[in-house]
């Protein structure tokens, strides 16, 4: 069963076609990667899924429910959470606060009972804290909970951003270049991390990535995008040997002509 389905999604900005007829399916429990050269429209595709952009035409389905055109917060409420290409933590706040904020969407008490510390609001707050600390503990970030998030090392910030996305209780995780700026050792660690959280939280992962080692090792399925068009899809081996992919990445023919 597909968790996420993009059906003929077209995204135009004026005359520029950033995404043309994208048909992407992400199956439950799988790790699916979206790759392509710079400017291929990968992040645009993510922004369409998460509601940042409303597609020019076509639809996005989450568990067969149409989510096209919903606002980003509603889409997160439906169970899709994301990370960003350039880390977007709440940088002046602590690690724990970052996680607690991601729990806010499940809060049922109104602001008056929260401010007056009514018993039910208190109970909810305590449960939220407990849940957040458990999550931090599972991901090995608990010892950093009172640190200001911008003071963490880069790798930990990436991890925290993923943890924050998980804290929304999402079942589909969208990772936008999680390994950007990481060295091979950190990338390796991240690979294990993604595998672990997928298994532990029963997640489906849809990611954009440039590190081919990571993509090839981790992905169950790969989609290749170039100039807004899907040019290939398949397993790692199929993609590696696909001539169109090699062309898009290395530009063999064009280079030869020049």
Interacting residues with another protein (CB under 8 A): 50, 52, 71-73, 76-77, 81-82, 84, 86-93, 97, 100-105, 107, 111, 114-117, 121, 124-125, 128, 148, 150-154, 157, 164-165, 168
Closest approach of another protein to the CB of residue 205, in Å: 16
Nearest to another protein of 77, 188 (CB atom): 77
Nearest to another protein of 24, 170 (CB atom): 170
Q: Of all helices (H) and strands (E), which one includes residue 51? A: none
Nearest to another protein of 17, 105 (CB atom): 105
Nearest to another protein of 127, 252 (CB atom): 127
Closest approach of another protein to the CB of residue 247, in Å: 35
Q: How far apart are CA 212 and CA 184, in angstroms?
A: 11
- Among 201, 179, 198, 199, smallest CA distance to 188 is for 179
Q: How far apart are CA 97 and CA 114, in angstroms?
A: 16
Q: How far apart are CA 82 and CA 72, in angstroms?
A: 10
List, as one string, the DSSP characters of 177-237: STTTT--HHHHHHHHHHHHHHHHHHT-EEEEE---HHHHHHH-SEEEEEETTEEEEEE-HH
Nearest to another protein of 152, 190 (CB atom): 152
Give the relative orientation of helices 154-167 and 184-201 as an angle to the nearest 10 degrees.
10
Closest approach of another protein to the CB of residue 115, in Å: 4
Closest approach of another protein to the CB of residue 215, in Å: 23
Closest approach of another protein to the CB of residue 36, in Å: 22
């Amino acid at each position: 069963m597909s968790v996420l389905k993009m059906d003929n999604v077209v995204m135009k900005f004026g005359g520029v076609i950033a995404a043309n007829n994208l048909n992407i399916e992400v199956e439950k429990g799988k790790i699916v990667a979206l790759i392509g050269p710079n400017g291929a429209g990968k992040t645009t595709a993510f922004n369409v899924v998460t509601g940042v952009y409303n597609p020019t035409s076509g639809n996005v389905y989450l568990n067969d429910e149409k989510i096209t055109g919903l606002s980003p917060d509603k889409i997160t409420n439906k169970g899709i959470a994301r990370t960003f290409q350039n880390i977007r933590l709440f940088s002046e706040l602590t690690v724990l606060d970052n996680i607690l904020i991601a729990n806010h969407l499940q809060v049922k008490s109104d602001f008056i009972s929260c401010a007056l510390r009514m018993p039910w609001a208190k109970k909810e707050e305590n449960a939220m804290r407990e849940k957040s600390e458990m999550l931090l503990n599972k991901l090995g970030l608990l010892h950093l909970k009172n640190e200001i998030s911008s003071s963490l090392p880069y790798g930990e910030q990436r991890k925290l951003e993923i943890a924050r996305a998980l804290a929304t209780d999402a079942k589909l995780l969208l990772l936008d270049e999680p390994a950007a700026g990481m060295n091979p050792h950190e990338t390796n660690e991240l690979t294990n991390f993604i595998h672990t959280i997928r298994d532990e939280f029963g997640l489906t992962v849809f990611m954009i990535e440039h590190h081919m080692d990571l993509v090839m090792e981790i992905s169950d399925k790969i989609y290749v995008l170039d100039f807004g068009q899907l040019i290939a899809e398949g397993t790692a081996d199929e993609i590696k040997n696909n001539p169109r992919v090699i062309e898009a990445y290395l530009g063999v023919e064009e280079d030869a002509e020049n």
